[in-house]
Amino acid sequence: MTKIQFTRNYTDQSTNQGFQFEFYCDRCGTGYRTRFQASALGTVTSALDAASSFFGGFLGQVADLGEKARSATWEKAHDEAFEKAMQELRQDFVQCPRCSSWVCRKSCWNEPKGLCKQCSPDLGVEMAAAQSSRTVEEIWAHSKMAEGDRTMLEEKSWREGIRATCPQCSAPLQSNAKFCPECGARINEKKHCTECGVALEPGTKFCPECGTKSETT
């Protein structure tokens, strides 16, 4: 008798009416479903179940006996159907001798190397992927910076600070504007002490150098 393989990477779609299985590739997850195998035992059991529901009594006892017999007979039929399904799809799968994974022959098996592509990748595919990845990196590295962004990165700009909204009307500012496009207010208006001339931070009421009350110049 053929030994049962594929004891992990499959799902059982069988019902009382018959048997069907789905096998999966350990690497890519591609699934293959076997053809449905009708079960004669399932048809007989269904007939007994239907008879017992209508007549009960003796036929109901017959249905109970049929159910008990089915437990062993159905399992045997299930194993035989599984072996048949396994043989049906066996040619589509191969087990890697290095990692023991069951992989699909179509996409995940490196035929010249005799290994799965996880253990022995297709060098042509890997080279194409590496070149594409490097090209994208080069595009990002050499992409031209927008002129407005370049200006904002200049030392003078980021040291002075850039406002995102107008201090008067709160309108959004798209760049380091000198005047608000909505209300015309002066942005980042400079203040200097009228006495000693030192630059004052926004909101300063008195000069930190000489104590003179600040006024807009």
pLDDT digits (tens, 9 = 90+) for 159-173: 555 677 887 788 887
Task: Transcribe 99-122 into DSSP letters.
Answer: T--EEETTTSEETTTTEETTTS--
Q: How far is CA 32 from each of CA 6, 38, 190, rounded to the nearest angstrom? A: 13, 19, 74
* Torsional class of 208: left (φ above 0), alpha (ψ -120 to 50), beta (otherwise): alpha
Q: Band the pLDDT of 50: cuts 50, 70, 90.
A: very low
Mean pLDDT of 46-54: 43
pLDDT tens column, 57-91: 434 444 444 454 457 788 888 888 988 888 888 88
Q: Output the pLDDT for position 52.
A: 41
Residue 197 to residue 187: CA distance in whole angstroms: 20
Q: Band the pLDDT of 108: cuts 50, 70, 90.
A: very high
Q: Output the pLDDT for position 208.
A: 83
Q: Output the pLDDT for position 190.
A: 67
Q: Band the pLDDT of 152: cuts 50, 70, 90.
A: low
Q: Closest by alpha carbon to 104, among 33, 28, 34, 35?
A: 28
Cβ-proximal residues to 33 (8 Å cutoff; 6+ apart), any chain: 13, 20, 21, 22
Distance of CA 217 to the CA centre of its chain: 59
Q: Output the pLDDT for position 71.
A: 75
Q: Output the pLDDT for position 18.
A: 87
Write the single-letter amino acid at 31.
G
Token pair in block for residue 189: 């208006």
Q: Output the pLDDT for position 201.
A: 72
CB atoms within 10 A of CB 111: 8
